Amino acid sequence: MLTRAEHRRGIGLGILAFAFVSLFVGLAVLALLGFDATPSHRSLFDAYTWKVLQFTLMQANLSTLLSIALAIPVALALARRPEFPGRLWILRLMALPMGLPVLVAALGLITIWGRQGLLNGLLLNLGLAEPVSIYGLGGILLAHVFFNLPLACRLMVATLDRLPGEYWLLATGLGMKPWSIWRFIEWPALARILPGIAGLIFMLCATSFTLVLVLGGGPAATTLEVAIYQSLRFDFDPPRAIALSVMQITLTAIVLGLLSLLPSTDQTLPASGRRVQRFDGQTWSRRLWDGTVIGCATLFILLPLFSILAAGLQADLPRLVMSPAFLEAASTSAAIALSSGVVSVMIAIAIISARIAIGDQKQSGKTARMFSTVLAATSSLVLLVPPVVLGTGWFFLLRPWGDVTRMAPYLVVAINALMALPFVMRVLEPAIGEHWRRTARLTASLGIGGIAKLLRIDRPVLLRPVLLALSFAMALSLGDLGAVALFGSNDFVTLPWLLYRRLSSYRTADADGLALILGIVCLALTFIGTSGIGTDRSKHAGR
């Protein structure tokens, strides 16, 4: 259905995208492996490195267990109460932490759980001598639960809401007790998706950077990525940084390999708002339990968000917004976010075009099919080599050629583009693939191609998905601290880096104001990037 020129163009774009991504990631890894640092072989097995690895695995395991263990009763309560007041808004609320910059959320958690926070104020008023500390392992676990409990809960509720209504009619007819309903209906449904959810959360926690950097509290609570950053930024110990980077790549490779063996968990499932008729849990004790669980989970998410809003409004926002430091950081962040978003969308379109061109061929050879599979995996390379590791590799690669900070903006743009690529692909690939299937035969029969096809056929349908993907990629880039942390300086400041510096220098009023501004902008972009995706799919499915 595609012309020969369109086949060549699609495959050519795919080759260019593959070359860019693989070279950018591959050169960084080769720079790490090829750096002349013989002592790294010793530092790879020293006590500090193994201690960091053990802490990374321990906090990831504990965070995963806590997130899932706390999410299960919340998900069960929400699934049991389709009539619960504000249920749909509670489920929407659980999407907010995923769109909030990690550094902003950390500041909100500190406001509630920190030494001078709301909780410790209440405890001190009750006569408790020693306040709760958010720093260290406890703070890291708390922050990870704040981000991952809503994610796990949304996926579980979506699964439970899709169970056939006949299950609940039959359970009522048989007079099944709550334990029997859990054992024969709810648990089998959740058991199918729990391995995938657990693997996803473990991966997020094992590669956590910003939360550990802000809440770690010292060498005793340091993960691999933070240790890499500290080895370069503070100690300038290249052998140790390389050893830790190799260990981080090995760890992520093992985790990704295990995840590939688990049942897939679709993060884009709608956190269902539909009403499912259930007849169990109608006793007052069960209603009280469900209401308490839902209320506690809602407060756990809402309080840090409200604290960000309240503290930010108390800051001198007009002075902060008009300050030269903010204006420079905002312009830098906007330029980087827009550039990385455009690059990410262009790479995604190139990969999708090549896969469509290969799939359109009636007799695709083994090499072409293999190339299509490789292209699909290319978008996830950043999961194998995290941003901090990529930045470390390029630091060693460019260091012999002069001042690395001159190339910092371009490196951050490329790293952020690759970081957003898996999410951009999830938005664009279904939209472009469906549009091609619906229009390919008609455009071929009418002989429409080139610019005319782009303007008349593709643009009206695909403009919105492209803009949605762009806004989502920009939100991820705008709130990211990982790539900037290695290269940030007085001459290269983004909004997250400025916020981190204000927080580190105890200028909390400015930090609160910056957190509010950054959080609102990123949430707005994330809302734009996620709104309408499910609606578009349902519209197209009905045609």
* Residue showing tokens 């959740």: 190
Residue 529 confidence (pLDDT): 64
Task: Note whether 382 and 421 are within 8 A (CB).
Answer: yes
Residue with more model confidence, 145 or 272 = 145
Which residue in the block uniquely carries the two structure tokens 């293999």?
A: 370
Separation of alpha carbons 350 and 45, rounded Å: 42
Nearest one of 85, 39, 473, 74 to 275, comparing CA atoms? 85
Give pLDDT, residue 538: 38
Within 10 A of 405 (CB to CB), how many other CB atoms are there? 15
Q: To 5 degrees, how large is the angle CA 223–CA 224–CA 225?
A: 95
Greater confidence (217 vs 25) lies with: 25
How far apart are the C-alpha atoms of 345 and 350, rounded to whole Å? 9
Looking at per-residue pLDDT, the higher value among 99 and 264 belongs to 99
What is the pLDDT at residue 74?
Answer: 95
Q: Which comes out higher in pLDDT, residue 200 or 339?
A: 339
Residue 2 forms part of a structural domain: no
Span 448-465, average pLDDT: 80
Instruction: Give the pLDDT confidence score for residue 25 in this predicted structure.
Output: 92
The enclosing domain of 73 has a CATH number of: 1.10.3720.10
Dump pLDDT digits (tens) for 323-334.
Answer: 999 999 999 999
Q: Is 438 within a domain? A: no
b vs e for 228-247, b when ≥16 Cβ sit within 10 Å of the residue's Cβ? bbbbbeeeebbbbbbbbbbb
- The CA-based diameter of the chain, rounded to the nearest angstrom, is 81
In this prediction, residue 369 carries a pLDDT of 79
pLDDT at residue 282, as a whole number: 74
Residue 387: Cβ-neighbour burial (10 angstroms; 0-12, 13-18, 19+): buried
Amino acid 534: pLDDT:
43
Confidence band for 37, pLDDT divided at 50, 70 and 90: low
- Supply the pLDDT for residue 63: 96
pLDDT at site 201: 92
Determine the pLDDT at residue 543. Answer: 36
Average pLDDT over residues 513-540: 70
Nearest CA to 522 out of 308, 265, 202 is that of 308
Q: Is 80 exceeded by the pLDDT of residue 469?
A: yes
Beta carbons of 248 and 389 less than 8 angstroms apart: yes
pLDDT tens digits for range 15-27 = 999 999 999 999 9
Number of domains in the chain: 1
Q: How many CB atoms lie within 10 A of CB 254?
A: 11
Which of 158-162, 383-387, 492-496 shows the highest mean pLDDT?
Answer: 492-496
pLDDT for residue 46: 74
Q: Is residue 211 part of a domain?
A: yes
pLDDT, tens digit, 9 for 90 and up, residues 273-323: 445 567 676 778 888 998 999 999 999 999 999 999 998 999 889 999 999
pLDDT digits (tens, 9 = 90+) for 48-97: 888 889 999 999 999 999 999 999 999 999 988 888 888 888 988 888 88
Residue 87 lies in a domain: yes
Percent of the chain topping pLDDT 90:
27
- Residue 489's DSSP bridge partners are 492
Top mean-pLDDT range of 109-113, 340-344, 391-395, 469-473: 340-344
Quick: pLDDT tens for 170-193.
887 888 888 888 888 889 999 988
Cα–Cα distance for residue pair 303/310, rounded to 1 Å = 10
Q: 127-131, 152-156, 210-214, 500-504 — which is least confidently predicted?
A: 127-131
Q: What is the pLDDT of residue 2?
A: 66
44 or 442, which is more confident: 442
The rounded mean pLDDT for the chain is 83
- Over residues 448-462, the mean pLDDT reads 78
Q: Please report the pLDDT score of residue 376 as a whole number.
A: 81
Confidence check: pLDDT of 386 > 90? no
Measured in degrees and rounded to the nearest 5, phi and psi for residue 489 equal -155, -175
* pLDDT at position 9: 84
Mean pLDDT of 348-352: 92
36 confidence band (pLDDT: 50, 70, 90): low
CA dist 281 and 80 (Å) reads 7
- Which domain, by its residues, includes 251? 60-312
Q: Is the pLDDT of residue 147 over 60?
A: yes
- pLDDT at position 523, please? 87
Q: Is residue 467 part of a domain?
A: no
Residue 328 lies in a domain: no
pLDDT for position 129? 60
Distances (CA, A) of 317 to 103, 325, 332: 19, 13, 19
Cα dist. 436→93, 380, 448 in Å? 35, 24, 13
Structure tokens at 280: 């169990």
430 is a domain residue: no
The residues with which 492 forms a beta bridge, in sequence order, are: 489
Q: How confident is the model at residue 337 (pLDDT cuts 50, 70, 90)?
A: very high
Is residue 295 a part of any domain in this protein? Answer: yes
Which has the higher per-residue pLDDT, 362 or 523? 523
Could you tell me what percent of the chain has a pLDDT over 70? 89
pLDDT of residue 15: 93
Per-residue confidence (pLDDT) for residue 41, from 0 to 100: 46
> Which band of pLDDT confidence, cut at 50, 70 and 90, is reported for residue 161?
confident
3-state secondary structure of 319: helix
Q: Confidence class of residue 272 from pLDDT cuts 50, 70 and 90?
A: very low
| Beta-carbon contacts of residue 92 (< 8 Å; ≥ 6 apart) | 271
